[in-house]
Structure 1
């Protein structure tokens, strides 16, 4: 009986250690993804003409509220139409990116 209790304790301890390691790895992965996608605000003059053209064609009647750029030359654009606000991601060539 003592051997059974000792065996169960060892198994439960091993499972809990594995669960802690998995959670720690997921947090580290999430942090690295967020660090890669940091955007800094840019003026509307810094946005390439191709990006502006894409927004005008794809979302007619909208107004550009704010623009952001990351290290990969991707743009995060906050646009508004009436009372609705949208966020659109594009690359430097004006291709819309799904996020």
Structure 2
């Protein structure tokens, strides 16, 4: 009788160890940032069409830095009053939304 009780306890104990295992899940998160590579240029290198568009859209705006990418798109850092922001334009002065 003791052997039967002991063997039943061992069998039940081994079954509970299988039930206690949890599934292992690996979560892989990939973040891809696609951003055009802009290089800083001198303010004199900005086309007149872009500076004219800036003066027309933001008469009080002051151009502080300018950047250009391989597609001849320009990133302009502009200060208007106490606010600083970035604007994007093509070489012909057309604004780009980004």
Same fold (TM over 0.5): yes
Q: TM-score, normalised by structure 1?
A: 0.69
Determine helix, strand or coil for the equivalent of 1:85.
strand
Instruction: Show CA shifts across 1:4-39 (max 9, x none).
Output: 96xx96xx55xx35x42xx23xx2x32xx13xx121
**Structure 1 gap ranges (5+):** none
Q: Which residue of structure 2 lines up, in the alignment, with residue 89 of structure 1?
A: 88
Q: Distance in 2 between matches of 1:92 and 1:82?
A: 26
Instruction: Show CA shifts across 1:40-81 (max 9, x none).
Output: 110111111111111010111111111011111111101112
**8 Å contact from structure 2 (residues 60, 81) kept in 1:** no
Q: Distance in 1 between matches of 2:85 and 2:45?
A: 20
Q: TM-score, normalised by structure 2?
A: 0.70
Paired residues, number: 83
C-alpha RMSD of matched pairs (Å): 2.1
**Structure 2 gap ranges (5+):** 1-14
Larger proportion of helix? 1
* Structure number with bigger Rg: 2
Q: Distance in 2 between matches of 1:62 and 1:55?
A: 7
Q: Which residue of structure 2 lines up, in the alignment, with residue 51 of structure 1?
A: 50
Which 4+ stretches in 1 moved above 2 angstroms?
A: none
Does the alignment pair 1:68 with 2:31? no
Displacement, 1:86? 1.8
